[in-house]
Amino acid sequence: MIPYGRHTIEDDDIAAVADVLRSEALTGGAAVGRFETALAAVSAAPHAVVCASGTAALHLVAMGLGLGPGDAVVVPSVTFLATANAARYVGADVRFADVDPDTGLMTPETLEEALARPSPGRPRAVIAVHLNGQCADMAGLLTVAERHGLTVVEDACHALGGAYRLDGIRHPVGAAPRSAAACFSFHPVKTVAMGEGGAITTRDDALADRVRRFRNHGMTRDPGAFTETAQAFDPSGAANPWYYEMAEPGFNYRASDLHCALGASQLAKLDRFLARRRALAARYDRALEPFAPLVRPIPRGPTEDDGWHLYVALIDFAALGQTRARVMERLRVAGIGTQVHYLPVHRQPYYRALDPDITLPGADAYYARCLSLPLFPDLDDGAVERVAATLGEILS
């Protein structure tokens, strides 16, 4: 069976984890810092804070920015649940933006539409999602966000290794040159796998400090941050060695040394993994050409070096007289796994109950046609041809 996505684990990855198992620290040790240093270098950001998942990363940033009740966060509807849920975790309202029907990406125009739509909460932030590995139009989105006084957060869970241009300068995804932060996921089907894991990159020193505290219950052991001096210090003025403080509660969102050792080993292979994913995406583009216009790749935008997490084909199932479920089942019988990314979040029951009248035609049009085909570094060229040929036979 060819899955739609799969991690690539090699002997050096296994050795890196085994070394941690033989060490004295399984969590809270040196491997955490090594991974953060490596990720900061890859993303060209001063701070990288590793955590338990991409979901945890989004939640930590929402907490770090002080978002809460009375605030609204604009989120594209075509994304994973966590992007919107992170706002709800802190009590903020979610305002869904429509997307381009062919790329699934929020655009400056759809962001403006979402901001103009009457909805609970005062808009304070927007989460720009880099979907499938393609970067959103950051220049355009930042222009709109800055005009409205919004903080921008990048959901880069699909886009590690990608890049975009601002003011003529190429920025790796994660550099966050004018965003508050970027959030990453290292789930097994992502480009770099940690098993479970996530991270935040930022240029904001204060935000980095806050998310570090929030990932560890809100605790600090920094004597310079202590406020309860009578219990924090002994008569000589030295900090008591056991002492810590919690100014506000956080969560146990730490990542272990086991996860970080695997992540650092994988991160060293990022260029190779990306090169293979891009080559496979180009091969899919060519293999699907005979089936156009009823089957076609998502259009390529102006961004640079897309970090292809997913390869999505747009299929006009209605014109072909076939249901997507039937096509997926026939592919499965042929040994080919596929997936749909994503059911628009505004159509989920929880969010539908909050805003039953919302209609987002771009998101619905993208969802109606999208199908994620197998894409991972170990996929061979012949498998791409087989997937395309089998899809063509089924659709014919």
Closest C-alpha to 213, from 174, 251, 183: 251
Q: How many CB atoms lie within 10 A of CB 19?
A: 13
DSSP H helices in the chain: 11-21, 30-43, 54-64, 81-89, 108-116, 138-147, 205-214, 229-232, 257-267, 270-288, 317-320, 324-333, 349-354, 361-369, 381-395
CB 199 within 8 A of CB 48: yes
CB 103 within 8 A of CB 53: no
CB 28 within 8 A of CB 257: yes
CB 327 within 8 A of CB 394: yes
DSSP for 320-366 reads: HT--HHHHHHHHHHTTB--B-----GGGSHHHHHH-TT---HHHHHH
**What does DSSP assign to residue 48?**
E
Query: Sign of the CA dihedral 222, 260, 30, 202?
Result: negative
- Report d(CA 294, CA 52) in Å as an integer: 41
From the list 7, 59, 158, 190, the catalytic residue is 190
Among this protein's residues, is 190 annotated catalytic?
yes
- Report d(CA 121, CA 73) in Å as an integer: 8
- Report d(CA 287, CA 280) in Å as an integer: 10
> Catalytic residues, which ones?
190
